């Protein structure tokens, strides 16, 4: 375990040209962990199938893929089940436990079955070598793991990548938080560097070989891709990391395709152990909590008026107090929805303990909180996108298109119902701080409002389909009623005259068949003609039943049944 250095040890001076703002000693980040959570939307492999099972491509033995399914600690040897796993498990409420871990063990005898999450881990990427702007040397991060999470029933996957480093300057740590998780540049600097991105990112293999390199500076490539496909192009190193998933509309071959579901800045989680966190200024804290670029610690990245309630809105200070002595590690938790940041001192053994301390909680319990919160938002955005796609594909003049639209809407409604009952919940834990952190995270992401909005849209679509079905049924009833009314005339007439108008009961079979056909064909033609004219006939009958209508108006209503001019007007309409 790294201990806090002596206070007299030399620390990195602040790189600034402003002598008035120069501070001779700056706190250093002696231990650093960062997790990015990148949700992507998976393109269905088969149209019409509700459950796609994209993960089966990665679990296939063919292809020699670098992904391997992560073994579930709950289905392995019980002797290997540690206290760390137990503490993680009991953090959550029972329905969240079933979502995350399933129930019943390997024999799956429980009615709840296994977990609805599938996790695959990439085996070949060991380190990330990153060059940040205004830094002469590259920074080397260890890749602790790169996992891909799939969720049963939903076309959503989340890439979770954890990196680690030691003894960083605060500026480098802020750069890593701000620039590392960028799917593509937002613009280009005059120097050609991608805006808000690192200068260069390289994935290194276990032997130190370069596996992939970023291409943020290839301006023409990004412009051409967006100009042709109207979707952003993802940087080369992230595309490599997700293989065999292929970017939608790209020319790459892959087992299945994905597209971005939010925007280019990937959600981030960070844990920072400082030599002395009390030396952090309010400007430092704001930059850490809101994940901004490095800057002068004596200034704020935004106006004072904008940040007047920063501590109230973005900080959980249950264990943060710099004004008086206490017997617990001084730890500040900050969340703005996009980012979750934990700050403490490297000298606090509990803060740096990976098994049962704050670091262990950050990597497991807090990570799962972030996974659930961002999964909720990604799933709701995916469902909203499916509604848009269904409407975009609708051709109101095509019978097949209308049938497909109805099928897509009903499937989306069924998926939403399964999401609601399997995955959606407001409370995840009875532990006070865990509950507070999840609520703060979800509130900043706005998932409650998004859920209500998506639910209302789906219900509106379902209500429209139901009302349209009722309208069609009502029209059918009206037409059948018109045909029945016309048939009533013949029924009454034959009943009054007697059923045996032609007494041929003792005639030969051919003659009986002749009379049958002679009556059947005109009757069939009359019924079909009545069905064809049933809409106009129903309108005419409605006019006839109107006591306020004049005789001439009633006659015109009946004559309009056979009016070609009226038929042409209806056809144009």
Helix (H, G, I), strand (E, B) or coil at 7: coil
Alpha carbon dihedral 161, 165, 168, 171, in 10-degree steps, equals: -10
Alpha carbon dihedral 57, 75, 142, 259, in 10-degree steps, equals: 30
Answer for the pair 369, 428: CB distance below 8 angstroms, yes or no.
yes
Answer for the pair 263, 270: CB distance below 8 angstroms, yes or no.
no
Among 455, 475, 498, give the residue marking a domain's end.
Answer: 498
Q: What is the pLDDT of residue 4?
A: 40
424: which strand partners? none
Domain membership of residue 340 (yes or no) is no
SS3 content of the chain, % helix, strand, coil (to 5): 45, 20, 35
Give, as one character, the DSSP assignment of residue 22.
-
Same domain, 64 and 202: yes
Q: What is the largest CA-CA distance in the chain?
A: 126
Answer for the pair 245, 257: CB distance below 8 angstroms, yes or no.
yes
Please report which helix (H) or strand (E) contains residue 213, including its range: strand 210-213
Bridge-based pairing of strands 268-274 and 339-345 is parallel
CA distance linking residue 266 with residue 35, whole number of Å: 10
Instruction: Say which residues have a Cβ less than 8 Å from residue 177's Cβ, sequence separation at least 6.
Output: 34, 268, 270, 288, 291, 339, 341
Same domain, 41 and 186: yes
**Quick count: other Cβ atoms within 10 Å of Cβ 272?**
24
Which pair of structure tokens corresponds to residue 329?
């590690």
The parent domain of residue 456 ranges over 370-498
CA distance linking residue 342 with residue 59, whole number of Å: 35
Same domain, 123 and 243: yes
Same domain, 127 and 261: yes
Instruction: Say which residues have a Cβ less than 8 Å from residue 553's Cβ, sequence separation at least 6.
Output: 543
Domain membership of residue 525 (yes or no) is no
Helix (H, G, I), strand (E, B) or coil at 101: helix
122: which strand partners? 67
Among 478, 498, 518, give the residue marking a domain's end.
Answer: 498
Same domain, 252 and 394: no
Answer for the pair 384, 454: CB distance below 8 angstroms, yes or no.
yes
Domain count of the chain?
Answer: 2
Domain membership of residue 137 (yes or no) is yes
CA distance linking residue 105 with residue 103, whole number of Å: 6
Answer for the pair 95, 421: CB distance below 8 angstroms, yes or no.
no
Q: What is the pLDDT of residue 132?
A: 94
Going by C-alpha positions, the residue among 273, 323, 275, 272 that lies closest to residue 25 is 275
Going by C-alpha positions, the residue among 444, 448, 468 that lies closest to residue 456 is 448
Among 212, 231, 265, give the residue marking a domain's end.
Answer: 265
CA distance linking residue 88 with residue 270, whole number of Å: 19
Going by C-alpha positions, the residue among 350, 281, 360 that lies closest to residue 322 is 281
Answer for the pair 354, 360: CB distance below 8 angstroms, yes or no.
yes
Domain membership of residue 343 (yes or no) is no
268: which strand partners? 36, 339
**Quick count: other Cβ atoms within 10 Å of Cβ 565?**
8
Domain membership of residue 407 (yes or no) is yes
Domain membership of residue 175 (yes or no) is yes
Domain membership of residue 78 (yes or no) is no
Q: Would you give per-residue pLDDT tens digits along the chain (573 residues)?
A: 344 443 333 333 444 433 334 444 688 999 999 999 999 998 887 666 666 777 887 877 666 788 888 876 565 556 666 778 788 888 999 989 888 888 765 555 544 557 788 899 998 999 999 999 988 899 999 999 999 999 988 889 999 999 999 999 999 999 999 999 999 999 999 988 999 999 999 999 999 999 999 999 999 999 999 998 888 999 999 999 998 888 887 777 777 888 888 888 999 999 999 998 989 999 999 999 999 999 999 999 999 999 999 999 999 999 888 777 777 778 999 999 999 999 999 999 999 998 889 999 999 999 999 999 999 999 999 999 888 888 888 777 777 777 788 888 888 888 899 899 889 988 999 999 999 999 999 999 999 999 999 999 888 887 777 777 777 666 666 666 766 766 666 665 555 455 555 666 667 777 777 777 777 777 777 777 666 666 666 666 666 666 677 777 767 766 776 676 554 444 444
Domain membership of residue 458 (yes or no) is yes
CA distance linking residue 181 with residue 442, whole number of Å: 21
């Amino acid at each position: 375990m790294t201990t806090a250095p002596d206070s007299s040890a030399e620390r990195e001076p602040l790189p600034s040209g402003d002598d008035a703002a120069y501070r001779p000693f700056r706190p250093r980040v002696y231990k650093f962990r960062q997790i990015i959570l990148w949700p992507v939307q998976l393109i269905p492999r088969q149209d019409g199938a509700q459950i796609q099972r994209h993960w089966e491509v990665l679990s296939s033995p063919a292809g020699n893929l670098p992904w391997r399914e992560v073994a579930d600690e709950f289905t392995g040897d019980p002797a290997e089940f540690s206290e760390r796993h137990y503490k993680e498990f009991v953090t959550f409420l029972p329905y969240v436990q079933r979502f995350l871990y399933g129930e019943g063990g390997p024999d799956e005898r429980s009615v709840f079955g296994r977990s609805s999450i599938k996790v695959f881990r990439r085996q070949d990427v060991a380190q990330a070598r990153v060059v940040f702007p205004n830094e002469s040397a590259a920074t080397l991060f260890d890749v602790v793991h790169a996992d891909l999470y799939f969720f049963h029933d939903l076309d959503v996957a989340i890439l979770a990548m954890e990196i680690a480093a030691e003894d960083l300057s605060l500026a480098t740590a802020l750069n890593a938080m701000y620039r590392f998780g960028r799917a593509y540049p937002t613009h280009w600097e005059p120097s050609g560097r991608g805006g808000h991105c690192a200068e260069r990112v390289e994935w290194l293999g276990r032997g130190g070989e370069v596996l992939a390199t970023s291409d943020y500076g290839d301006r023409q490539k990004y412009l051409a891709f967006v100009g042709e496909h109207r979707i952003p192009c993802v940087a080369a190193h992230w595309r490599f990391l997700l293989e065999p998933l292929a970017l939608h509309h790209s020319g790459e071959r892959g087992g299945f395709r994905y597209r971005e579901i939010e925007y280019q800045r990937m959600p981030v989680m960070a844990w920072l152990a400082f030599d002395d966190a009390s030396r952090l200024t309010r400007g430092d804290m704001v930059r850490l909590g809101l994940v901004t670029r490095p800057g002068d610690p004596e200034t704020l990245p935004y106006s004072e008026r904008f940040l007047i309630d920063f501590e109230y809105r973005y900080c959980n200070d249950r264990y943060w107090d710099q004004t008086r002595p206490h017997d617990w590690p001084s730890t500040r938790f900050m969340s703005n929805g996009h980012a979750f940041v934990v700050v403490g001192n490297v000298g606090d053994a509990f803060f740096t303990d990976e098994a049962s301390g704050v670091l262990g909680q950050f990597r497991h319990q807090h990570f799962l909180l972030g996974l659930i919160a961002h999964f909720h938002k990604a799933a709701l955005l995916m469902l909203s996108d499916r509604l848009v796609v269904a409407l975009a594909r609708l051709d109101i003049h095509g019978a097949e298109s209308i049938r497909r639209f109805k099928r897509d809407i009903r499937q989306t409604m069924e998926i939403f119902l399964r999401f609601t009952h399997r995955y959606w919940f407001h409370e995840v834990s009875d532990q006070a701080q865990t509950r507070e952190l999840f609520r703060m995270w979800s509130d900043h992401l706005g998932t409650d409002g998004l859920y209500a909005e998506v639910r209302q849209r789906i219900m509106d679509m379902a209500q429209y389909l139901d009302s349209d079905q009722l309208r069609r049924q009502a029209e059918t009833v009206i037409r059948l009623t018109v045909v029945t009314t016309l048939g009533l005339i013949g029924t009454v007439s034959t009943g009054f005259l007697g059923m045996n108008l032609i007494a041929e009961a003792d005639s030969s079979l051919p003659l009986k068949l002749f009379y049958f056909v002679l009556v059947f064909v005109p009757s069939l033609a009359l019924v079909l003609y009545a069905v064809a004219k049933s809409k106009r006939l129903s309108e005419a009958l409605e006019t006839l039943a109107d006591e306020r209508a004049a005789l001439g108006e009633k006659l015109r209503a009946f004559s309009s049944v056979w009016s070609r001019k009226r038929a042409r007007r209806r056809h144009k309409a």
